[in-house]
Structure 1
């Protein structure tokens, strides 16, 4: 199915079409994505994958694995969601987002396929199903050697799970999130995520709670798949700063990652184990590729320094496990520092659980609204935060929150913005482009 460029949607028409899909919401299941991909000639069957599931850390593992594969010379596709700055970041080859022209071209083809499906009596594919099918088609037609693929939610019934050519199934940290769809216990959630294990693949896992690990082991045994579990105790000579971390592991001495946050050591080791398994699956990488790929891998919005004097950190902690990891890093890096929070959250997240573990570190909390049907207003979030902290102020905009934070801070204060990724892109851009002068003023 080809598209005449003269009939191709414009970029504005493409973005309007994507917006129109949002009413479809989330519908777990594989029947519709299978039907959609069949319309496109099943492009996923021509690709090889590293498939990553988990609650927190998927993106960081994806970043490190794909960075090394790129260094090794493989044409590497990567599919991620959600994104922070630009919709096109979802579809990347060699860490370059899809061009506007290609996005329009491929989305026009997807729209035609969706219309054919609906005419045949099928439901309209969800936004994630459309994006997943587009990713497969784009990566196939651009001749990717390998694709590093992040699940959207869960695993077993996630749209990405129609793939068959999984080389390595990777499990980042699994914890409680999306309980309405995945289950109310760790074991139930782990069983859903373990659904990405395919016969013939290898499996790698970050450190997990025993309840999760037992589920993963059982799933691997059923599929006759080996499971390699990261052991943080095997890391040596660890040096952690907010600029990055160094560690040694086996033959790798003084490996550096620019990802800050102590939890990133688990993700780095998980990525390293995945790369070792890939080498046995026909995608060998040299030691120099690992050193360079790890050092150059960057992932925005994950305990990222976005401003200096005062230090300004942005982190995408949006569930209870992510909040606990953020709190651990704040306690580790910023002992006895004044901390100001900027927080924005979605309505369907566990606000109380997140606030309970993070609020004790803050001197002042500023809340912002998040947009969309899942958005939570600044006022609603402030009311919840006041149950855990005395000094809470709701703001009218991200820009106002940044301005107030700078006015309250001195050069030794640390400002930490976290919560939903949906607002962090706007905040990071504002701090870097519009508010630097205020930061320097305090220096």
Structure 2
């Protein structure tokens, strides 16, 4: 097979003529095919493609919250240290191509078109077999593997799970290190009703003999991670045991902390991401880097580590997208995420009036999420994401109204299903208030993506992750 055939450059009759057509085909599978957990179809597809993932070094990252931030820290430090880095994350914030990055740049559209045209014939044959059609996420993951394994060949691929871990299609790879950020109440309809159940799914990314770094803290979840690592003879580096961190200073857009691990101590590390939880994410990334230095002779100078951490950015997470009026975005879509947002609002940001717009997906623990934020809010605008699956605004409003007498807030609830109109109302309330009014958009990342794209680029984001 020639190099052109391997990368899909030769195709007499391409199924798609433009990148937009190729992306529309893949993203259109989300509402029609849905989610089908399991690895068999993915393994079969990769075998037919020549198993390009076996040429790559993966850093596999799972967890309820913080996956994206840890991936961002790892990518930044590795790139600062001179490594070529592929990064695969989900969901994306602006464009489908955001999911596939090589050294911080999205996959070129001509490459995406060529690779999707190659995948289309395999997908058609699969759909006609007993395996049935491939899902959006299976094809997206295969596209990432083809890009990294046949086109750009990065030194490391920072590889984020989509949902859970054990049956997530990203779990077809054998990484050089596994990272589990934390365990929280999310996707309980698919992952299980208890933290131990969810931890068991996340722990599914632990491979025999492959070291694992984790920031999991709850005793029942830690027990599962520890048991799984021991059963697979994987060395576990756990926060609070083999590594730890201590806050040394906090201000808006700057946090400092001291890191202590098995291999060294680093004082006064600085990050620009806001929220105390980002210190835990950064410490987890530092421990993963140190494990790679010890196991695989990864070369990362201390100054490169410090600069990589300091320059890490991650959109849509405590991101101030407007200063006049002040509008803060944060994709807090579950109770743990909303608790972290509430802590940051208390500890980091100065305001005398807090107005919030929120939209959620239907499969979340909404009451526990709202309990963290409602007592702080003056005006709550409840809206809906522009997505085929969503929670109806009036239903979320019923939860907020039921909690309001108990929690003493918010003072005012506005129900506006159209997120654009809701955003207009939020902006008007911020502009009409004092200079110390803070507007926050939170909840599902489907809403965050659209609001961010609209405020920064006057366009809607793409959909389909």
RMSD of aligned alpha carbons: 2.0
CA distance in 2 between partners of 1:306 and 1:81 (Å): 21
- 1:169 and 1:201 in contact (8 A); partners too: yes
CA distance in 1 between partners of 2:458 and 2:87 (Å): 31
The equivalent of 2:269 in structure 1 is 255
The equivalent of 1:400 in structure 2 is 421
User: Residue 237 of structure 1: CA displacement?
Assistant: 5.3
User: Residue 371 of structure 1: CA displacement?
Assistant: 2.3
Worse-superposed segment, 43-52 or 16-25 = 16-25
CA distance in 2 between partners of 1:418 and 1:124 (Å): 34
Residue deviations 1:49-86 (CA, integer Å, cap 9, x gap): 11111100000000001111111111111111111111
The equivalent of 1:363 in structure 2 is 378
The equivalent of 2:278 in structure 1 is 264
CA distance in 2 between partners of 1:335 and 1:387 (Å): 29
SS at match of 2:130: coil
Worse-superposed segment, 259-268 or 223-232 = 223-232
Worse-superposed segment, 8-17 or 409-418 = 8-17
The equivalent of 1:162 in structure 2 is 172
CA distance in 1 between partners of 2:429 and 2:387 (Å): 30
CA distance in 2 between partners of 1:237 and 1:391 (Å): 36
CA distance in 2 between partners of 1:160 and 1:367 (Å): 34
User: Residue 158 of structure 1: CA displacement?
Assistant: 0.8
Matched, 1:147 2:168: no
Map residues 36-435 of structure 1 onto 2, 5 A cutoff.
36-141=45-150, 142-164=152-174, 166-231=175-240, 234-236=244-246, 238-250=248-260, 251-282=265-296, 283-334=298-349, 337-389=352-404, 390-409=411-430, 410=433, 411-433=435-457
> TM-score w.r.t. structure 2 length?
0.89
The equivalent of 2:407 in structure 1 is none
User: Residue 236 of structure 1: CA displacement?
Assistant: 4.1
Matched, 1:12 2:17: no
User: Residue 16 of structure 1: CA displacement?
Assistant: 2.3
Residue deviations 1:8-27 (CA, integer Å, cap 9, x gap): 42122112211331111111
CA distance in 2 between partners of 1:281 and 1:234 (Å): 20
SS at match of 1:404: helix
- 1:207 and 1:266 in contact (8 A); partners too: no
CA distance in 1 between partners of 2:229 and 2:441 (Å): 38
Worse-superposed segment, 242-251 or 58-67 = 242-251
- 1:309 and 1:412 in contact (8 A); partners too: no
CA distance in 1 between partners of 2:42 and 2:458 (Å): 42
Residue deviations 1:144-170 (CA, integer Å, cap 9, x gap): 111111111111111011112x11110
SS at match of 1:73: coil
CA distance in 2 between partners of 1:77 and 1:115 (Å): 28
- 1:56 and 1:174 in contact (8 A); partners too: yes
CA distance in 2 between partners of 1:338 and 1:252 (Å): 38
Q: Structure 2 unaligned segments of length 5 or more: list them.
A: 1-5, 405-410, 460-465
CA distance in 1 between partners of 2:100 and 2:180 (Å): 21
CA distance in 2 between partners of 1:5 and 1:181 (Å): 39
CA distance in 2 between partners of 1:433 and 1:14 (Å): 23
Distance 1:207 1:337, change over 3 A: farther
CA distance in 1 between partners of 2:110 and 2:429 (Å): 45
CA distance in 1 between partners of 2:78 and 2:444 (Å): 29
Residue deviations 1:202-232 (CA, integer Å, cap 9, x gap): 1101141111111111111111111111239
User: Residue 416 of structure 1: CA displacement?
Assistant: 1.0
CA distance in 2 between partners of 1:280 and 1:149 (Å): 20
CA distance in 1 between partners of 2:389 and 2:288 (Å): 34
- 1:348 and 1:374 in contact (8 A); partners too: no
- 2:41 and 2:134 in contact (8 A); partners too: yes
CA distance in 2 between partners of 1:5 and 1:277 (Å): 43
The equivalent of 1:439 in structure 2 is none
